[in-house]
Structure 1
Amino acid sequence: MTPAERVIPTWTEPLATAASAPIGGPLGRHAAIGRHWFWTPLRVALLIAVIGLAIGWFGKAACVQQYYNEDSKKLELDWRSNRPFTAMCYSDIIPLYSAERLNEGGFPYKTSWIDDEGKPTAHVRYMEYPVLTGLFQWVNAKLADGWLAIAGAGWLPTGLAVTVFFDISAFWLALAWLVTIWAVTRTARRRPWDAALIAASPLLLVHAFTNFDTLATAFAATGILAWARKKPALAGVLLGLGGAAKLYPLFVLGPLLVLCLRAGRMRDWARTALAAIIAWAVVNLPIMLGYPRGWWEFFHRNSLRGADPDSLYNVVSQFTGWAGFDGRLGFGQTPVWLNAVSGLLFVVSCAIIAFIALQAPVRPRLAQLSFLVVAAFLLTNKVWSPQYSLWLVPLAVLAVPRWRILLAWMTLDALVWAPRMMFYLGDDKKGLPIDWFLSFVVLRDLAVLGLCVLVVYEIYHPARDLVRQGAGGVPLDDPAGGVLDGAPDRLTLTVTGFRRANAPAR
Structure 2
Amino acid sequence: MGSLLSGRGNIALVLIVSLLLTSIALLWSYHAKIKCGGEPFFPDGRSKHWPVGDPDAAIPCYSDLMYLWIGRDINNHVFPFIHGGINADGTLFGGVVEYPVLSGVLMYLGAIGAHTDTEFFQHSVLVLIPFAIAITIMLALLTRWWVLLWAATPPLVLYAFHNWELPVVFTAVAAVAVMAFGGSRRADGERRLSLRTSAILAAILLAVGFCLKLYPGFFVLPLAVYVLTRGHDGAAAVARRGLDWVGAIWVAGAATISVIAIQAPFMILGFEGWKAALSFQGKRQAEVDTNSIWYWGLRHLTGGETDTYHSLVGVLSPALILLAFVASVFLGWKVFQRTGTYPWIGVCGSMLAGFMLFHKVHSPQYTLWILPLFVLLQVRWPIILGYLLADLALDLTIFRLFGIYTSGSPMQWWVIGGVNFGVWVHAVLLAILLVAFARAPLREPLRSLMAGTNRDTSASVPADDTDPDPLDPTDDREESSVR
Residue of structure 1 in register with 2:34 after alignment = 61
Residue of structure 2 in register with 1:357 after alignment = 332
SS in 2 for 1:111: coil
Q: Which letter does structure 2 place at the counterpart of 1:211?
A: N
Q: Which letter does structure 2 place at the counterpart of 1:132?
A: L
Residue of structure 2 in register with 1:495 after alignment = none
Write out aligned runs for 1:277-426 (5 A).
Answer: 277-309=256-288, 310-323=291-304, 326-327=307-308, 335=310, 337-360=312-335, 361-362=338-339, 363-400=341-378, 402=380, 405-426=383-404
Distance in 2 between residues matched to 1:105 and 1:326, nearest whole Å: 38
SS in 1 for 2:99: coil
Report how far residue 341 of structure 1 moved: 2.0
Distance in 2 between residues matched to 1:2 and 1:259, nearest whole Å: 37
Residue of structure 1 in register with 2:72 after alignment = 100
Write out aligned runs for 1:132-147 (5 A).
Answer: 132-142=102-112, 144-145=113-114
SS in 2 for 1:297: helix
Distance in 1 between residues matched to 2:345 and 2:313, nearest whole Å: 30
Q: Which letter does structure 2 place at the counterpart of 1:253?
A: V
Report how far residue 314 of structure 1 moved: 1.1
Distance 1:336 1:258, change over 3 A: farther
User: Cα RMSD between the aligned structures?
Assistant: 3.5
Distance 1:273 1:404, change over 3 A: same
Q: Deviations over 1:304-330 (max 9, x none)?
A: 0111432111122344344568426xx
1:233 aligns with 2:188: no
Q: 343-352 or 270-279, which moves further after superposition? A: 270-279
In structure 2, the gaps of 5 or more residues are 183-197, 231-242, 454-460, 466-473, 478-483
Find the partner of 1:206 among 158, 166, 177.
Answer: 158
- Give me the TM-score of the superposition, normalised by structure 2: 0.77
Report how far residue 422 of structure 1 moved: 2.0
Report how far residue 241 of structure 1 moved: 1.0
SS in 2 for 1:229: helix
Distance in 2 between residues matched to 1:259 and 1:2, nearest whole Å: 37
Q: Deviations over 1:73-115 (max 9, x none)?
A: x986132683376641111111211221111122211233787
SS in 2 for 1:400: coil
Distance 1:128 1:36, change over 3 A: same
SS in 1 for 2:70: helix
Distance 1:300 1:121, change over 3 A: closer
Write out aligned runs for 1:70-89 (5 A).
Answer: 77-79=47-49, 82-83=52-53, 87=57, 88-89=60-61
Alpha-carbon contact 1:53-1:205 (below 8 Å) kept: yes
Distance in 2 between residues matched to 1:239 and 1:107, nearest whole Å: 24
Aligned residues: 422
Distance 1:452 1:339, change over 3 A: same
Distance in 1 between residues matched to 2:462 and 2:151, nearest whole Å: 30
Distance 1:2 1:204, change over 3 A: farther
Find the partner of 2:443 among 463, 467, 486.
Answer: 467
Distance in 2 between residues matched to 1:251 and 1:95, nearest whole Å: 28
Residue of structure 2 in register with 1:171 after alignment = 126
Q: Which letter does structure 2 place at the counterpart of 1:181?
A: T
Residue of structure 2 in register with 1:154 after alignment = none
Report how far residue 220 of structure 1 moved: 1.0
Q: Deviations over 1:193-231 (max 9, x none)?
A: 111211112111111111101110001111121122232
SS in 1 for 2:66: helix
Distance 1:123 1:243, change over 3 A: closer
Distance in 1 between residues matched to 2:51 and 2:334, nearest whole Å: 57
SS in 1 for 2:7: coil
Alpha-carbon contact 1:308-1:384 (below 8 Å) kept: no
SS in 1 for 2:40: strand
Distance in 2 between residues matched to 1:368 and 1:399, nearest whole Å: 7
Residue of structure 1 in register with 2:421 after alignment = 439
Residue of structure 1 in register with 2:255 after alignment = 276
Distance in 1 between residues matched to 2:21 and 2:219, nearest whole Å: 28
Report how far residue 406 of structure 1 moved: 2.3
Alpha-carbon contact 2:39-2:47 (below 8 Å) kept: yes
Report how far residue 346 of structure 1 moved: 1.2
Q: 196-205 or 397-406, which moves further after superposition? A: 397-406
Alpha-carbon contact 1:477-1:486 (below 8 Å) kept: no
Residue of structure 2 in register with 1:18 after alignment = none
Distance in 2 between residues matched to 1:365 and 1:3, nearest whole Å: 31
Q: Which letter does structure 1 place at the counterpart of 2:202?
A: A
Residue of structure 1 in register with 2:238 after alignment = none
Q: 205-214 or 223-232, which moves further after superposition? A: 223-232
Q: Which letter does structure 1 place at the counterpart of 2:430?
A: V
Distance 1:76 1:42, change over 3 A: same
Distance 1:275 1:439, change over 3 A: same
- Give me the TM-score of the superposition, normalised by structure 1: 0.74
Distance in 2 between residues matched to 1:368 and 1:37, nearest whole Å: 27
Report how far residue 429 of structure 1 moved: 2.4
Alpha-carbon contact 2:299-2:305 (below 8 Å) kept: no
Distance in 2 between residues matched to 1:43 and 1:266, nearest whole Å: 43
In structure 1, the gaps of 5 or more residues are 5-31, 146-159, 329-334, 460-464, 471-475, 490-502
Alpha-carbon contact 2:181-2:449 (below 8 Å) kept: no
Distance in 1 between residues matched to 2:329 and 2:164, nearest whole Å: 30
Write out aligned runs for 1:12-31 (5 A).
Answer: none
Q: Deviations over 1:394-429 (max 9, x none)?
A: 122112255564244223213211220221122632
Distance in 2 between residues matched to 1:299 and 1:357, nearest whole Å: 31
Residue of structure 1 in register with 2:409 after alignment = 429
Q: Deviations over 1:354-379 (max 9, x none)?
A: 22112221134322111111011010
